[in-house]
């Protein structure tokens, strides 16, 4: 007579162990790539631009992996408000960083 009642709450996705393992493995790989680029890439004569581009690319992909596998964000209509909130937060962070750089470079120009 055991009756399992599961309630589906909109906006919340249910993950399984396999998804967490895949996310963890991808995170380890995407963390090792920048270390390998710095340690072996610079010794092999790679330019700094290529190394920095590889690090930035691995960091971007790792953010996407974390959003998908650990925060369970996807393109479904249930997740649209969560995605919009994260995009708005990213916009505010970019505005703050660019504003800070603008002020610092302007102050540096005025001091010279």
Q: What is the block-wise mean pLDDT of the chain (112 residues), using blocks of 10 residues?
A: 60 75 96 94 86 95 94 85 92 98 95 87
Q: What is the pTM of this model?
A: 0.71
Look at residue 46 in the predicted model and tell me its pLDDT. 86
Among the listed residues 61, 15, 11, 14, the one whose alpha carbon sits nearest the alpha carbon of residue 34: 61
Alpha carbon distances (Å) from 83 to 2, 39, 78, 87, 90 = 38, 36, 10, 6, 10
- In whole angstroms, give the CA distance from residue 46 to residue 92: 35
């Amino acid at each position: 007579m055991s009756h399992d009642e599961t309630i589906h709450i909109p906006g919340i996705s249910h993950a399984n162990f396999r998804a967490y393992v895949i996310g963890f493995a991808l995170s380890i790989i995407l963390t090792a790539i920048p270390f390998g680029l710095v340690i072996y890439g610079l010794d092999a004569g790679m330019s700094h631009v290529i190394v920095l581009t590889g690090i930035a690319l691995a960091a971007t992909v790792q953010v996407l992996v974390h959003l998908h596998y650990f925060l369970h964000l996807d393109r479904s209509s249930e997740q649209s408000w969560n995605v919009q909130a994260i995009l708005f937060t990213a916009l505010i962070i970019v505005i703050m960083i660019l504003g800070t750089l603008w002020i610092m470079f302007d102050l540096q120009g005025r001091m010279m």
